[in-house]
Amino acid sequence: MNKIYNPERKDWKTVLERPTQTVAAIEQTVETIFGDVREQGDSCLKNYTERFDGATLDTLTVTMGEIEEARTKLSGALKQAIQLAKKNIETFHKAQRTGTIEVETMNGVQCWQEKRPIQKVGLYIPGGTAPLFSTILMLAIPAKIAGCQEVVLCSPPDREGRIHPAILYTADLCGVTQIFKVGGIQAVAGMTFGTESIPQVYKIFGPGNQYVTVAKQLATKYGVAIDMPAGPSELLVVADDSADAAFVASDLLSQAEHGVDSQVILVSTSKELMDAVEKEVAQQIEALPRKEIAQKAIDNSKLIFVEDDRTAIDLINEYGPEHYIVCVKNEDFYVTNTINAGSVFIGNYTPESAGDYASGTNHTLPTNGYAKQYSGVNLDSFMKSMTFQKISREGIQNIGNAIELMADAEGLQAHKNAVSLRLESLKKQ
C-alpha cells in the first residue's frame, strides 16, 4: 500500500488523484454505440449483447416465467434479508416526503410549490463480476414511493442469456414494470432513444463502470436526465488510535473488491494505526474470493498520515469521498466540519456495508469528487418541484407597478403590456 506522510497542500490534488480514465479516452466508443442503437434499435442491442456479453438472445425482454423461476432459486434466508432491507429503505425514504409549501408573498399574491413524480425512469443495474441486486432496492423503492408510472430496468445477461435470479426477484418485489437483458453503453443508449422493446425514459439512474458513466453523461445531450455521474466506487476512512485496525482494513477491502478501478484511502493522525491496518489488509485479503480484483485496487490505495485533525478534515473535504467512515475519538469535530461527502458512516460499529445493503440510506452516491456538488440518490431524485401562483385583482394592483417598471427597464414592452392592460381594465370597473 502507498504510504504518504504529511503531504504539502500544494500536492494534495496529485496525491488524491483517482485512478480513472479521461472522458476523452472513452467518448468515441460511446458515441459510436449510441449512433448504432439510435439507428438500428433492438437488432443492434442484440448484436452488442452477443459481442460484449457472449449471449445470443431471441428477445431482450424478461418474461414472467423467468421471474417465477428466479423466485425458486433463491434461499428463504436471502429472500428474508432482501425483505428486511426493503423495509428499512422504504421507512427512510418515505420519511423524506414533503408536503405543499404555500405562501402569500403579499396581499392577493398566492404562491405554492408541489412535487410531481417523473413519469418514466430507467434503472441500470450492473451484473458483471457482481450482480448488484441491492442497487434495485436503492432505486426502485424511492421510484415507487415517488409515484413514477414506468420503472424500466436494464441489466446485462450471462452467457446463457439469463439475468441473475436475485436481480429478477428483487426487481419484481420492488415493482419494476419492465426488465431487459441488456447492459453497458448500449443499455443506456436504449433507454435514451427507445427501441422496439425498450421504452424511452426521462431520467436514468444507476452505477456502472467508466463506460457506463460516460454513456450517462452523453445521454444528457439527448434530453435525458441522469442521477449523477457515478463511476467506480471509492471509500475514505479517517481513523486514529481509537479505531480497530481489523475493522478499518475490512472496510477498505469491502470497497476494493468492487473493481480494479475502485479507490480506497485511509487518512490518519496515527502512524501506528496505519501500520496495523496495512498488516490487517495483507492478512484479510488472502481469504477473499475476489482477491485478484481487490489486490489491484489496493495497489492504488493510499495511507495518508497528517499531524492533526484540522489538516485531516481539510484534506477530506478536498477529496470529497463517495463513502466516508469516521472512526476517531473526536468524531463530533469531523461530522460537524465535513462539507463534501456522499454518505457518512460514524463509529467503529458502522461499516460502509450497512449503507450498501440494509440500514435504510441510499447507496447510489456521487463519486470522482462530485460529492462537492451532487447529492446521493434520494426521494426527490425521482420527483420534480413545480411552482404555482394565483393573483387576485387586489394582488395585481399591489404588484403590477413594480412589474411594469422592471419590464420597461429591460426593454420588454410586451411583458409590461401584459400587466398594464389588466391594470387599465380594473380602473374601468
Annotated binding site for NAD(+): 124, 186, 209
Judged by DSSP in three states, 115 sits in: strand
Q: Which of 239, 223, 235, 229 is nearest to 207 (CA)?
A: 229
CB within 8 Å of 338: residues ≥ 6 apart: 313, 316, 317, 324, 326, 344
- The phi-psi region of residue 99 (left if phi > 0; otherwise alpha if psi is between -120 and 50; otherwise beta) is beta
Q: Annotated binding residues for Zn(2+), as ranges?
A: 255, 258, 356, 415
Q: Annotated binding residues, as ranges?
A: 124, 186, 209, 233, 255, 258, 323, 356, 410, 415
Q: How many CB atoms sit inside 10 A of residue 20's CB?
A: 17
Q: Annotated binding residues for substrate, as ranges?
A: 233, 255, 258, 323, 356, 410, 415
| Active-site position among 234, 323, 352, 363 | 323
Active site residue 164: no
Record the cell numbers describing residue 367, joined without a space: 463519486
CB 229 within 8 A of CB 316: no
Angle at 152 between CA 150 and CA 157, to 5 degrees: 165
Active site residue 363: no
| Active-site position among 234, 280, 322, 352 | 322
- CB neighbour burial string for 278-310, b if at least 16 within 10 angstroms, e if fewer: bebbeebbeeeebbebbbebbebbbbbbbeebe
Beta bridge partners of 205: 123
- CB neighbour burial string for 167-176, b if at least 16 within 10 angstroms, e if fewer: bbbbbbbbeb
Residues marked as catalytic: 322-323
